[in-house]
Amino acid sequence: MGKRSHLEPTEQRPKKKSKSEKPAKASKDKQENGDEKTGPYSDSSALSEIPQADIDSFLTKNIIKISDPTSPDASQFRPILSFDHLPKCDAGLYTQLKSFPAPTPIQSTTWPLLFAGRDVIGIAETGSGKTLGFGLPCLKKLIDSKSSKPSQPKAVIISPTRELAMQIYDQLVKFGGTEKTQVTCIYGGVGKDEQRRALQKAAIVVATPGRLKDLQNDGSIDLGKVNYLVLDEADRMLDKGFEQDIKDIIKPMPVSRRQTVMFTATWPRSVRDLAATFMKTPVTVTIGGDPSADPRANTRIKQVVEVVDGREKEGRLVQLLTKSQRGQSPEKVLVFCLYKKEAMRIENLIRNKGFAVAGIHGDLNQSDRFRNLDAFKKGQATVLVATDVAARGLDIPNVKLVINVTFPLTVEDYVHRIGRTGRAGAEGLAITMFTENDKGLSGGLINVLKAAKQDVPEALLKFGTTVKKKQHDVYGAFYKDVDMDKTATKITFDD
């Protein structure tokens, strides 16, 4: 397993009294209370022997904040600094982890909490391994439960888009060892029959909310036995567009009987109170800074903002693409538009210029969406033009450049969009065209740039530094299928 933890070699450290036999306090309390959602978890002996100073330095170096309402002393759960510190588990669950050097900070910190059965809110930058952060404990919980043939799902992971749901599914299958056959993915835009059949043997269901609700309503799925619920991209899932769906979906799984997990890179105030109503004394883990500050971009992404006249955008885009595409090996570039029609127009423009381009937006049928994304992943198309349907979560290897042709409706969305580059420790570049039309978001953008120590152009400062209250409460996060020719009520969501 991962042998390259920065804490090695351990023999140089002073020995600390082993706590390996002692379950973490919260876990122990819950077992005594007979809480069935809590499994026994205790630090491995290797982890117990790590000196506290090393743990402290890990927490400080990665700017990790752990807020546990049940205990001011968050140290009861030591971060898992190496894969060797993971609790024992059958079924080859950890085999695939060998390809990574060590857990990422969000994995290190949330895994012990999740193994111990706690509700967790995990906030960490884009591309920092949050999927395995919630995915590995989900698989372990299933394996530990030892139920041979599930008749009802035990875990549900909800994702805002179909492509992201599929990606999470793929990760669970990859890491799932022998349990992989019990994972199912359900989403809208395709037939239901096959999904209904798959649900009959599904222990873990990854789903988009609309289709999940549909199948729940027609009796194809009973969520009454779910004891592990994940809202990935949690702020999106709690935004007004999805709020009621989520409430309906979780009705059969009472908060007292389920472990609820929320992960995201952005955690706006507007969703925090609502999140609390879904959770039981959650522990909030934040990597990289204060959760109450403005949204934070991954600092390995160089952010360039160009203030332009709207009429200059297309010429500038072609210029940027010419530079990145004309060499021996064209770079992968993701181009974001706000509207579907705009995306189609820009895709045509790029195709007419002779670049290998594909598109993804809500007007395409699902098989085209998957096919085009796949072409981009494989490098058959080196430019992908997308609406914000591709802004969150998608882990596409080697995207070198993100170009925002039109600024999104919220600064959170901006952080997610540019987060499609610079993943898993890589560096990336994001170039954003900002026009006078976007000036309501200049203050928020300036704060994101400053927090990531990026240059703030004078022309952007002129638009003002005031951060306006989030304007698009209903569709700010659901921008992706706004039709520019219709009124703002014409909005559709992924189902």
Which residue number, 179 or 235, has a Cβ lying nearer to ligand ATP? Answer: 235
Which residue number, 109 or 126, has a Cβ lying nearer to ligand ATP? Answer: 126
CB of 379 to ligand ATP, least distance (A): 16
Question: What does the alpha-carbon distance between residue 141 and residue 25 come to, in Å, rounded to a whole number?
Answer: 19
Show the binding pattern over residues 365-404: x = contacts ligand ATP (CB under 6 A), - = does not. Answer: ----------------------------x-x---------
By CB under 6 A, the residues from 99 to 118 that bind ligand ATP are 100, 103-104, 107
Which residue number, 53 or 424, has a Cβ lying nearer to ligand ATP? Answer: 424
Number of residues that bind ligand ATP (CB under 6 A): 17
Which residue number, 229 or 307, has a Cβ lying nearer to ligand ATP? Answer: 229
9 upstream amide cis, omega within 30 of 0: yes
Report DSSP state, residue 453: T
Q: Is 12 left (phi over 0), alpha (psi -120 to 50) or beta?
A: alpha
Other beta carbons within 10 angstroms of residue 254's beta carbon come to 10
CB of 130 to ligand ATP, least distance (A): 3
CB of 476 to ligand ATP, least distance (A): 18
Which residue number, 129 or 476, has a Cβ lying nearer to ligand ATP? Answer: 129
Which residue number, 124 or 320, has a Cβ lying nearer to ligand ATP? Answer: 124
Contact window for ligand ATP (CB under 6 A) among 183-191, 359-367, 417-425, 429-437 = 417-425
Question: What does the alpha-carbon distance between residue 232 and residue 242 come to, in Å, rounded to a whole number?
Answer: 13
Which residue number, 199 or 234, has a Cβ lying nearer to ligand ATP? Answer: 234
Question: What does the alpha-carbon distance between residue 236 and residue 479 come to, in Å, rounded to a whole number?
Answer: 11
Show the binding pattern over residues 117-146: x = contacts ligand ATP (CB under 6 A), - = does not. Answer: ---------xxxxxxx--------------
Which residue number, 39 or 103, has a Cβ lying nearer to ligand ATP? Answer: 103
By CB under 6 A, the residues from 241 to 270 that bind ligand ATP are 265
Q: 482 in helix, strand or coil?
A: coil
Beta-strand pair 64-67/283-287 = antiparallel
Tell me: does residue 419 bind ligand ATP (CB under 6 A): yes
Q: 77 in helix, strand or coil?
A: coil
Which residue number, 106 or 215, has a Cβ lying nearer to ligand ATP? Answer: 106
Which residue number, 117 or 129, has a Cβ lying nearer to ligand ATP? Answer: 129
CB of 15 to ligand ATP, least distance (A): 27
CB of 459 to ligand ATP, least distance (A): 29
Which residue number, 126 or 404, has a Cβ lying nearer to ligand ATP? Answer: 126
How many CA atoms are closer than 13 Å to the CA of 256, on its beta-carbon side? 3
CB of 82 to ligand ATP, least distance (A): 11
Which residue number, 408 or 443, has a Cβ lying nearer to ligand ATP? Answer: 408
CB of 106 to ligand ATP, least distance (A): 7
Contact window for ligand ATP (CB under 6 A) among 84-92, 209-217, 416-424, 428-436 = 416-424
CB of 83 to ligand ATP, least distance (A): 8
Question: What does the alpha-carbon distance between residue 67 and residue 283 come to, in Å, rounded to a whole number?
Answer: 6
- 391 contact partners, CB below 8 Å, separation of at least 6: 336, 408, 413, 416, 417, 420, 480
Enclosing H/E stretch for 303: strand 301-307
- DSSP result, 195-227: HHHHHTT-SEEEE-HHHHHHHHHTTS---TT--
- 130 contact partners, CB below 8 Å, separation of at least 6: 106, 122, 124, 232, 263, 264, 265
Tell me: does residue 53 bind ligand ATP (CB under 6 A): no
By CB under 6 A, the residues from 421 to 450 that bind ligand ATP are 423-424
Which residue number, 83 or 407, has a Cβ lying nearer to ligand ATP? Answer: 83
How many CA atoms are closer than 13 Å to the CA of 121, on its beta-carbon side? 28
At residue 188's C-alpha, the angle toward residues 184 and 190, to 5°, is 85
CB of 125 to ligand ATP, least distance (A): 7
Cα 239 from chain centroid (whole Å)? 15
| 160 φ, ψ (degrees, to nearest 5) | -75, -25
Query: Could you tell me the end-to-end alpha-carbon distance of the chain, in angstroms, rounded to an integer?
Result: 39
CB of 419 to ligand ATP, least distance (A): 5
- In 104-114, which positions are buried (b, 16+ CB within 10 angstroms) versus exposed (e)? bbbbbbbbbbb
Q: 108 in helix, strand or coil?
A: helix
CB of 268 to ligand ATP, least distance (A): 15
Question: What does the alpha-carbon distance between residue 137 and residue 259 come to, in Å, rounded to a whole number?
Answer: 11
By CB under 6 A, the residues from 66 to 105 that bind ligand ATP are 100, 103-104
Cβ 460 vs Cβ 445: under 8 Å: yes
CB of 418 to ligand ATP, least distance (A): 10
By CB under 6 A, the residues from 161 to 180 that bind ligand ATP are none
CB of 37 to ligand ATP, least distance (A): 24
Binding site for ligand ATP (CB under 6 A): 100, 103-104, 107, 126-132, 265, 393, 395, 419, 423-424
